[in-house]
Amino acid sequence: MDLVESGRKKIEWVKQHMKVLNTLKEMYMDEQPFKGINVAMSIHLEAKTAYTAVVLHELGANVAITSSNPLSTQDDVAEALKTYGVNVYAKRSTDEELYWKNIDKVLEIKPNIVIDDGADLGIRIVEKFPELLENIWGINEETTTGIKRYKALLNDGKLPVPVIDINDSYMKYLFDNRYGTGQSTWDGIIRSTNLTVAGKNVVVAGYGWCGKGVAMRAKGLGARVIVTEVDPIKAIEAVMDGFSVMPMDEAAKIGDFFVTVTGDIDVITEKHFMMMKDGVVLANAGHFDIEVKVADLERINTEKKEVRPGVTQYTMPNGNKLYLLGMGRLVNLVNGDGHPVEIMDLSFSLQLEGAKYIKEHKGEIEVSVRPVPYEVDLNIAKIKLKTMGIDIDELTPEQIEYLNSWK
């Protein structure tokens, strides 16, 4: 019961600060747009996602939810969420079998709409439960990683239903990926280690929108930032933003903190671990635990122990100690509370709008991967400005005419 109490407090807290989502909820409350619609969700199960599920439920949906990452479930939130009328199948655990069992449980709801985070849910359907596809009108996908996978599926000619690419909506990637990942990654690292960031060499692998956020905040905390990239254009952007750019083979020797945000495998591997200084901290902020190659750490270490909650010390053959945070999984979710509330308010408002769009256009949407329509994005932005009490200018008719003129 303490779990429920603790989880409810967390949900009520985020409810107070998710003002855009609350505005949408009020707008749609009478209409009940999701009445009788089944929604399956796979998403990091903490207070903000829980409240999103609650809102969908309040707007009429039958919701079943599990976590999109074995360690990102907060058990108190999961227990509390059940008391709001949502079907919850999630437990913090490293048990892979349990993870997939819960995914399958969620699918028993026979979803009309799938809300996905990393594509595990949608791809499970394609691979194991194709019979469910006939009821499915569309999928919302939240992350860079999930979009990459759905696009690969599309390229293979195997995408069965339209995917709304929440991740590439402006109100998502400009904010969640950058300011959300930036703040929460450092929250996770700092609270786990109590180490000083100022004056340290921070290596950020990947300078996409998430990497930009992580680098920007590292700089804001007083670090010298080193960026590694594979894309020449992003690499030059990092240089011009005042960061050092070099290959990981060089960065590995001088970094104090390493943060991976590439969406790819094997970014930091054995050869790098063997070059690192004693006492470095390794953290991953990408979707899967594949960027820092944990398998290599597990294989080559001479000693392994947990030295603080969420901090695993691996002793290397050369005697150096490396500290892996959150077992190489998303450090902001496993060692923290995930992205800050107001940022996720934007992303989950897009999720709500995306789901509503799927419902209202069922059967009409091309089977492809694409963002919510620009008007939806714009509307979220307008509501957000309103909740912040900020007015902006409006174009006059003369200004609009000028913009459309070539004279």
Give residues 247-266 in contact with its own copies (rule: CB under 8 A): 247-248, 250, 263-266
**Selected range binding its own copies among 30-38, 82-90, 96-104, 338-346, rule: CB under 8 A:** 338-346
Contacts with its own copies in 164-183 (CB under 8 A)? Answer: 170-171, 174-175, 178-180, 182-183
Considering the complex, state which of residue 63 and residue 346 has its C-beta at the smaller distance from its own copies.
346
**Selected range binding its own copies among 13-21, 85-93, 96-104, 135-143, rule: CB under 8 A:** 13-21
Residue in 27, 133, 307, 367 binding its own copies, rule: CB under 8 A: 307
Contacts with its own copies in 103-162 (CB under 8 A)? Answer: 119, 123, 148-150, 152-153, 155-156, 158
Q: Does 12 bind its own copies (CB under 8 A)?
A: yes
Q: Is residue 144 a known part of a binding site? A: yes
Considering the complex, state which of residue 117 and residue 229 has its C-beta at the smaller distance from its own copies.
229
- Of 94, 96, 4, 98, nearest in space to 50 by CA: 4
Cβ of residue 399: shortest distance to its own copies, in angstroms?
5
Q: Is residue 145 a known part of a binding site? A: yes
Contacts with its own copies in 40-79 (CB under 8 A)? Answer: 47
Rounded to whole angstroms, the Cα distance separating 139 from 153 reads 13
Contact letters for its own copies, residues 347-386 (x by CB under 8 A): ------------------------------xx--xx-xx-
Residue in 96, 97, 391, 397 binding its own copies, rule: CB under 8 A: 391
Considering the complex, state which of residue 242 and residue 317 has its C-beta at the smaller distance from its own copies.
242
Q: Is residue 286 a known part of a binding site? A: yes
Considering the complex, state which of residue 106 and residue 267 has its C-beta at the smaller distance from its own copies.
267
Q: Is residue 263 a known part of a binding site? A: no
**Selected range binding its own copies among 27-35, 58-66, 80-88, 305-313, rule: CB under 8 A:** 305-313
Cβ of residue 94: shortest distance to its own copies, in angstroms?
21
Size of the site for its own copies (CB under 8 A): 102
Cβ of residue 249: shortest distance to its own copies, in angstroms?
8
303-308/369-370 β-pairing: unpaired
Residue in 88, 109, 223, 268 binding its own copies, rule: CB under 8 A: 223
Rounded to whole angstroms, the Cα distance separating 195 from 186 reads 11
Q: Is residue 212 a known part of a binding site? A: yes
List residues forming the annotated binding site.
Answer: 143-145, 208-213, 229, 285-287, 332, 339
